[in-house]
Chain A
Amino acid sequence: MGNVLVWVIWLLAAAACLGSGVAVVTLTNPFYSALSLIANLASLAVLFLLASAEFVAAAQVLVYAGAVMVMFLFVIAYLGGRADAPWAGETRWLRGAAIVASVALLVEVVVAIGLAAGDSLTDEADVADAFGSPAEIGELFLTDHLLAFEITSIVLLVAAVGGVVLGIKASEEETP
């Protein structure tokens, strides 16, 4: 019984995820696109939870759906009407070519994964209840992956400084 419930929740989350992904790409108002991306990230967090990645799901909601998307919405509000997104290029065949290319990419990925790892994908390892909990993730971050953790913080610092520098240059050129 519990298994059926998990399936239902999983299918709902996956459908919401793909549907809101299509909405992000197709809507012309960037504000609605950003809101659909928030729905996409939230339903992805549900999928993460069902794959026993509790901490990743929590970070997804806090960092992505919270902080990053608020930044997006601020920029879209700042740009106002200028942000209204034109659709595909003038030439109509480019749109068709893009659709064909992305479908080809999908088929390619599915075939490649199926050929490389077809049968071995079904025998999952048994994991403890604590798998993916904040305690385990935190311990790994501060022991095995300490260097990656520190490098990540430097990357974030460099990106923040880069964003500030871009802002300063732009405001100097703004004055006529």
Chain B
Amino acid sequence: MLGPGVPWYLAVAAALFSIGALGVMMRRSPLIVLLSLEIMLNAGNLALVGFSRLHGELDGQIFALAVMAVAASEVCVGLGLIVAMARRRLPLDVDTMTELRG
């Protein structure tokens, strides 16, 4: 294959996934947490596309497209939740959302 091989793609995917995980763990704004989740999902997509190229099968790309649809649904519900929080005058801070804590 022209250019870098599959291990390079996997390295970028792993780095991107841990950047996204860092965002989810470190930030308190639910908006930034959602954005970081998108990064993690896309890192998974990159690994899927890389493996799909490695094996010469298109199933990985099909799965990447399904992940994309699921990510769009997740954004739809997540942004709905954030807007609902904002309208109830709740602080946009995931650390204060402790009502369900056991």
Contacts and interface: CB of A to CB of B under 8 A. Distances in A.
Nearest to A30: B31
A160 B54 CA distance: 35
Interface of B: 1-12, 14-23, 25-29, 31-32, 34-36, 38-39, 42, 45-46, 49-50, 52-59, 61-62, 64-66, 68-77, 79-84, 86-88, 92-93, 95
Main secondary structure of the interface of A (DSSP, over half): helix
Interface residues of A, number: 91
A86 to B, nearest CB: 5
Contacts of B83: 75, 78-79, 166-167, 170
B25 A98 contact: yes
22 contacts: A9-B3, A10-B4, A25-B19, A41-B38, A47-B12, A51-B50, A53-B49, A79-B86, A86-B29, A94-B26, A99-B26, A106-B14, A121-B10, A137-B61, A140-B62, A155-B69, A163-B76, A166-B83, A167-B83, A170-B87, A171-B87, A173-B87
